[in-house]
């Protein structure tokens, strides 16, 4: 299955451990980078302010990553992004990490659409229809 969006990232030295292998925690950062770029490709932002001053955002409520093969310093890692589920208030994204055709890892992030009045706290809210319409469910092939 073709990815809905692919973000390409070169592994930096700072992403690696002493053996030159990407530290596991960086895969979560790579997912976040790909998520932000995917949102930008749709004309959206992870955090934004509406004209009335209300902030909107997508805090994460769950994140997982399963590792299959190491990535190394200077590798070009492709992060494929697909929508697994668009709920009333939540969005679940799947990520597949690969170096060429070799799969390195796969992960998933669940986020919740939230609003925050000026000076207030975040509260979950229904995803506005004009935003939900931009997301198309397309679970990845993890073969």
**Contact status, residue 107 vs residue 64, Cβ threshold 8 Å:** yes
Residue 138, pLDDT above cutoff 80: no
Reported as type and span, the H/E element at residue 130 is helix 129-132
The burial of 80, by beta-carbon neighbours within 10 Å (0-12 exposed, 13-18 middle, 19 or more buried), is given as buried
5-41 pLDDT, tens digit each: 999 999 999 999 999 999 999 999 999 999 999 999 9
Residue 139, pLDDT above cutoff 90: no
Domain ranges of the chain: 5-132
CA distance 27 to 35: 12
Residue 25 phi, psi (nearest 5) = -65, -25
Please count the other Cβ atoms lying within 10 Å of the Cβ belonging to residue 114: 17
Question: What pLDDT shows up at residue 53?
Answer: 83
Task: With 0.85 as the threshold, say if the pTM is over it.
Answer: yes
Residue 143, pLDDT above cutoff 80: no
Question: What pLDDT shows up at residue 3?
Answer: 66
48-58 pLDDT, tens digit each: 988 888 899 99
C-alpha distances in angstroms, 67 versus 6, 98, 112?
A: 19, 11, 25
62-119 pLDDT, tens digit each: 999 999 999 999 999 999 999 999 999 999 999 999 999 999 999 999 999 999 866 6
β strands within the chain, DSSP E: 5-10, 47-49, 55-57, 60-67, 76-86, 90-99, 102-112, 114-116, 123-124
Structure tokens at 111: 């986020």
Share of the chain above pLDDT 70, in %: 91
Choose the CATH number for 5-132 among 3.90.1640.10, 3.40.50.1980, 3.10.129.10, 3.40.50.10470: 3.10.129.10
Taking 3-state DSSP, the helix, strand and coil percentages for the chain, each rounded to the nearest 5, stand at 15, 45, 40
């Amino acid at each position: 299955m073709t990815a809905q969006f692919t973000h390409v990232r070169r592994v930096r030295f700072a992403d690696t451990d002493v053996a030159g292998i990407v530290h596991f925690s960086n895969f979560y950062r790579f997912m976040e980078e790909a998520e932000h770029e995917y949102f930008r490709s749709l004309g959206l932002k992870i955090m934004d302010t509406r004209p009335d001053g209300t902030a909107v955002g997508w805090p994460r409520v769950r994140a997982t990553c399963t590792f299959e093969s190491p990535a190394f310093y200077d590798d070009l890692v492709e992060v494929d992004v697909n929508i697994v589920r668009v709920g009333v208030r939540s969005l679940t994204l799947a990520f597949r990490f690969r170096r060429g055709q070799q799969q390195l890892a796969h992960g998933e992030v669940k986020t919740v659409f939230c609003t925050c009045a000026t000076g207030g706290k975040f509260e979950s809210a229904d995803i506005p229809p004009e935003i939900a319409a931009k997301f198309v469910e397309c679970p990845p092939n993890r073969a």
